[in-house]
Structure formats: structure tokens, C-alpha cells
Amino acid sequence: MNAIPFSVTADLPIYDERRPVLRTRPLKAWRHFRELLKDKERTDEVFRIFEALPWRGFPAAGVKFLSSERGQALRAREPYLPPILDDHAALRRTPVGSLAHAYCDFMEREGLSAQGLVDEFEKFAVGKPRFQDQFAWYLHRGRDVHDLLHVLTGYGRDGLGEACVLAFTYSQQPSPAHLFIGYMAGLNMKKTVKSEAPVLHAIREGQKLGKACPRLIETSITDLLPLPIDEVRRRLNITPARHYHRAHQVWRSIGVDPYDMLGRNTATPQDVPQAA
């Protein structure tokens, strides 16, 4: 089991006031988005965009939750998610048809691990100051539930699926970066492949689905994992993403693979509409 990279003791301050207040830097975000277009697997560019377009309300949301009895109880019960999510042997002991089984199927099929996303973040964070506070726990959960969202929503790891997950997450954790990457990626897809695929409708639908769902980072993941996945979706008000699947149908009808379209035919940065 990997060591927890921060303390979970109750005597830590909820929020270290020495944490810097991040400035909104749209031009920096745009530069990193252009690099991301060249290779959608460049997770470090995603982190840099989030740094340039921060959710100003993130600290206040974390402090509010961690100041509650429910927040402290959840922090004590689930001090760090990656070891829980990467223990597939334990997850496979839950009933067939559970969220845990669906999660394992997805991660194994895609060759992913929760620790892998942590490792990418750690590369990005080299040289940056570390803060020992309870907010670190809240902050990390925002990262660690990302792949669970793919499983719960049915969005794949294709370009549109990632854009829709970001839009969903915006309604949960409203960083401007979620919408910036999501909608700019959507505009790039529409320009790259001319079709009637409802790309922007799909991204907007993801945003609406996220708004209907309770904030996942404030929900017990270990309570959800053993449950039938359909029951979890009902509890979280997650309904099928119609426009996303319709977009896939349209693309396939014209001979375009939704999982390969950006890899085969990515627009050059200058072809992408300028950021506002």
C-alpha cells in the first residue's frame, strides 16, 4: 500500500493560510491548452490549465465541509482514496454488478490506476510548496474521483467523453478550467470533423448531469463501491447521457472512430478558435 502523502491527524489546521491565492491567467491557460491539443495524454498540461484558471471558491468549500461533523467523519473513514481504489482484489470481492466491479473493469481495460494519476500530479508539483493541512485531503479527492466519474456517467476516455466529464465536474467543483478545456475541446472536435454530431449539446448535458448529482468528493466512496452500479446512479441522480452517445452514432455513421478522431486528425493550434 502506498504511503499517505500528508498527515490525517485531527490537530492539523483545516486550512493553512500560507497557501497562495492563485491568480486567473487566461493567456497562460490558452498556451497550455494549445500544447494539450498536440497530445491529449499530457496530463501535466491539464494541471497547468487548472492552476491558471482556479476555482476561487475551492478553499471556502473545503473549509465549510471540513468544519462539519460529516466532513471530519468522512476524512477519518477515508483518509486517502488511491490505495482503496487500486486494491482490485478487495474490490472484486464485492457482488458482481457493483460499482467496484465496473470500476475495476474500466481501469483494467484502459490500463489505468488511481496511483498513476497521483504520480502525474507529483511530477507537476515538483518544486512547489507543500502544505500540511486538512484541506490537502479535500483537494486530493477532487483528483482521485475522476475515473469513478467516467464509470458512473458512462463517458469514455475519447475526446468528447473527457470533455463531458470535465463539464460534469464543473458543476461539482466550478473551476473555470473545467469549462475552458471542455468547451474548447468541443469546438476543436467540431472543426476537426464536420458533422451533425451534437458535440456542444453533449458537453452542456454533462454540465447539467453534474449539477443534479451530490458533490462526489463529499460522498463516502466506500459506501458506494459495493452497491449495484444502477442503484448508485439512482442515488446520485445520474441519468444516461443521450447527446454523447448520439454524437458517437453520428461519427461512426460517417466512418469516424470517436476514440481515434483527435489522434488521426488533430487541428493545429492556430486552427482552433481563440480563447475569450
- Domain boundaries along the sequence of the chain: 26-271
159-172 vs 242-253: helix crossing angle, rounded to 10: 170
In this predicted structure, what is the pLDDT of residue 5? 55
Give residues with Cβ within 8 angstroms of 162, minimum separation 6: 40, 155, 185
CA-CA distances (angstroms) from residue 234 to 91, 105, 120, 208, 224?
Answer: 21, 21, 32, 15, 11
Identify the residue whose cell numbers are 466512496. Answer: 221
Question: For residue range 230-254, what is the model confidence (pLDDT) as tens digits?
Answer: 999 999 999 999 999 999 999 999 9
In this predicted structure, what is the pLDDT of residue 4? 55
Extract the residue ranges of the chain whose pLDDT is less than 70: 1-10, 262-276
Backbone angles phi, psi at 69, to 5 degrees: -65, -40
d(CA 205, CA 203): 5
The per-residue pLDDT of the chain, averaged, comes to: 90
In this predicted structure, what is the pLDDT of residue 157? 93
In this predicted structure, what is the pLDDT of residue 9? 56
In this predicted structure, what is the pLDDT of residue 147? 96
d(CA 120, CA 43): 7
In this predicted structure, what is the pLDDT of residue 260? 84
d(CA 251, CA 180): 23
